[in-house]
Structure 1
Amino acid sequence: MLNIVTMMISVFATFIFLVCTPSAALLLNRLPLPSPLTGPEALAFDRNGSGPYVSSSDGRIFKYVGPNEGFQEYAYTSPNRNKITCDGLADFSTLQATCGRPLGLGFNHQTGELYVADAYFGLLKIGANGGPPIQLVGPAQGNSSMFADGLDIDPDTGIVYFTEASANFQIKDISTILTSGDSTGRLLKYDPSTNQTTVLLSDLAVPNGVAVSRDGSFVLVSEFMENRIQRFWLKGPRANLSDTFIRLAGKPDNIKRNSRGQFWVAVNSYLGLPRRPIRRVLPSGVRISENGLVLQVVSLAQEYGTEPASEVQEFNGTLYAGSLFVSYASIFIP
């Protein structure tokens, strides 16, 4: 009976998403990365509310300091980074395997440490004052994460949940991933108190975004190629089981929880055949309740055109968005 109810809720939510007219988001500001960098795929705010901190194409993480100073370098993900080789690197360069490509960001607000999912170096930790990375789960370890993508941190336990988008491909192979039918992705859990990594879900079709519920009872993971978000139960009678949280009329990317326990998801609808080199993309931010109901759809097409949005998150009543394919972070009123 529970499965039937869950399916009905999911279908209803998708129907609402399909028929509702997205509202337009009012652009407040663009925060440009230092030229020629691109790709603020992920954003984060520290425990003091400072930021946003953003990832970039050359392996560095930047902190937005203010309108006069703009973004300043905060950290990097390659343990042996060479500034001469890496600074200013474009996205999808073969040198990213050496310089790093951070994709997921999240602060532990108890310790001030920044956790990073890097496409080449796995799960890393940055000290409270920035600087060099500490690799926690990476290619040199038996519990390797080849293509780490998204992450979130349980604010009460400090446990990190992160995704491996593919076990067969890397980010430089993104076109192949999207046309290959690859389903080797995983959802993983890293416990900093024991330094242990556990696989929670496997055989996922390009999982990217992750978000823990407000009460810590479940964690969500988006499956880009399946147009859905799965829910893995951490507590309660369904602990260690999973179900479909919602199906969407588009491909979900990163997920971010807001202060009310709701979730913002970057969703991109691709119009045209997947293998065609030119497609029309309709980027949007979708706000979803804890029960998997669509509450709001905000169109980002005026801001990003045909470029996909990677992340949308709400902070102090405004929306911040990023994309793997642009050179700035955006601030909106939803």
Structure 2
Amino acid sequence: MASTWAKRVGWGVGGVVVAVAAYLAAWPVPIQPVAWTAPAAPGYQGMHAPNQRLARLNIIDLKGEVGPEHIAFGKDGKLYTTVLSGNILRMNPDGSGQEVFANTGGRVLGFDFDAAGNLIAADAIKGLLSIAPDGKLTLLADKVGGDPIRYADAVVVAQSGKLYLSDASTRFAPKDWGGTFEASVLDILEQASTGRVIEYDPATRATRVVARGISFANGVALSQDEKHLFVNETGKYRVWKIAVDANDLDIGQPGSQARVLLDNLPGYPDNLMRGQGGKVWLGFAKPRGAAIDNMAGKPWLRSLTLRLPRALWPIPQPYGHVIAFTDDGKVVADLQDPSGAYPETTAITETADRLYVQSLHAHGLGWLPNKP
């Protein structure tokens, strides 16, 4: 009896093991991973040696709103920020007088103001929007060359009036894959490099692709002379400098119109914001993780990872980190909080007296005094 029972248990356990193995090997996943070579992570050393300059932030209560992903000041002197609910909040610089300026019904990740005072928004669900000072919404573009803009991420307005927008992924639209974070994880694990930068000309209402082939095209900023765009390639830990007059440029074959400005960064670069004194602020949503880098050349392992419960995905731990660099790629500031108390520090919005910290998931708006 005991022997028979033991055999049954053994067969049962074996069956479970076979079933689990079959599931891990064959269950369909949404990504088609591409092999690539990840550079050896530089770690936190040298110019990026650990420090506490981003720790102990002052926090502005957002009254239940979450994720001040982007922060900018309007012509009215008010601070504007986007949040997870789809609201765009407006307030005084000290956080008082908070009100809802607009709600897009989507998720605005980046925005800028045009010369007329319209808020130009990159909405990951809706596309490229213009929001008038009275809150009226207008869709500017949700397609380029007939192809949908699937993941509008960041936008910057040039003095010419032209708008430059990052479309992070042409594979994974947040509206189809559970949200912006989930879609970004899928795109970065796949490494198909389908992100692109788009120009929209309000005068003609025409859109065109400036550059493509980017592994999760994220933050966008203009050089001081506005002849180049700085573009974060989040999935490959680098920042590109791309000529604004490039046309449908494949950065896999960049030629003279594009070059890597900052390479092999210690984290996933997110937003870019023009600061004072010629600086550009860059935030890291997460630090790099050895497990993810080690899977770069093993597409099958990345597929297997997505068959695991989400709690077992190799998502790096929180780590607060922002840097500033000049147009020639020199890093001139590095602020960190190794505790990651303020999550996903996606960039800095700089004023004469404050540094406001952008975040994808924080429950308040962080800031530090801007000390010379």
Which TM-score band (shorter chain)?
0.7 to 0.9
Counterpart pick for 1:61 among 60, 63, 88: 88
Question: Displacement, 1:313?
Answer: 2.0
Aligned match of 1:253: 270
Q: How has the CA–CA distance of structure 1 residues 308 and 270 changed in structure 2, closer, same or farther, with 3 Å as cutoff?
A: farther
Unaligned runs of 5+ in 2: 1-41, 247-253, 293-304, 306-312
* Counterpart residue identity of residue 287, structure 2: S
- Shift >3 Å, 4+ stretches: 14-18, 20-23, 25-28, 65-70, 274-278
1:25 has 2:54 as partner: yes
Secondary structure of the 2:344 match is: coil
Aligned match of 1:146: 150
Question: Displacement, 1:272?
Answer: 4.4
Counterpart pick for 1:164 among 155, 164, 167: 167
Question: Displacement, 1:15?
Answer: 7.8
Aligned match of 2:280: 263
1:243 has 2:259 as partner: yes
Give runs of aligned pairs for residues 5-154 of structure 1, distance below 5 A.
16-18=46-48, 20-22=49-51, 24-25=53-54, 27=56, 29-35=58-64, 37-51=65-79, 53-65=80-92, 69-77=96-104, 99-108=105-114, 110-129=115-134, 131-138=135-142, 142-154=146-158
Secondary structure of the 2:47 match is: helix
Whether the 8 Å CA contact 2:193–2:214 is kept in 1: the answer is yes
Give runs of aligned pairs for residues 199-238 of structure 1, distance below 5 A.
199-234=209-244
Q: d(CA) in 2 for partners of 1:158 and 1:259?
A: 22
Secondary structure of the 1:322 match is: strand
Counterpart pick for 1:321 among 357, 360, 369: 357
Unaligned runs of 5+ in 1: 1-11, 78-98
RMSD (Å), alpha carbons = 2.7
Secondary structure of the 1:310 match is: strand
Question: Displacement, 1:166?
Answer: 0.5
Q: d(CA) in 1 for partners of 2:145 and 2:100?
A: 28
- Give aligned-pair identity as a percent: 26
Q: d(CA) in 1 for partners of 2:62 and 2:128?
A: 24
Aligned match of 1:8: none
Q: How has the CA–CA distance of structure 1 residues 243 and 332 changed in structure 2, closer, same or farther, with 3 Å as cutoff?
A: same
Deviation per CA, 1:203-236, whole angstroms, max 9, x where unpaired?
1101110001122121110011110000112379
Equivalent pairs, count: 293
Secondary structure of the 2:318 match is: strand
* Counterpart residue identity of residue 168, structure 1: R
Q: How has the CA–CA distance of structure 1 residues 44 and 239 changed in structure 2, closer, same or farther, with 3 Å as cutoff?
A: farther
Deviation per CA, 1:101-142, whole angstroms, max 9, x where unpaired?
11111112x21110000011110000023x231001115982
TM-score normalized by the length of structure 1: 0.79
Whether the 8 Å CA contact 1:27–1:333 is kept in 2: the answer is no
Q: d(CA) in 2 for partners of 1:271 and 1:239?
A: 31
Question: Displacement, 1:325?
Answer: 1.3
Q: How has the CA–CA distance of structure 1 residues 198 and 17 changed in structure 2, closer, same or farther, with 3 Å as cutoff?
A: farther
Give runs of aligned pairs for residues 266-277 of structure 1, distance below 5 A.
266-267=283-284, 268-274=286-292, 276-277=313-314
The structure with the largest alpha-carbon Rg is 2
Q: d(CA) in 1 for partners of 2:128 and 2:350?
A: 24
Counterpart pick for 2:328 among 287, 291, 295: 291
TM-score normalized by the length of structure 2: 0.72
Counterpart pick for 2:316 among 275, 279, 295: 279
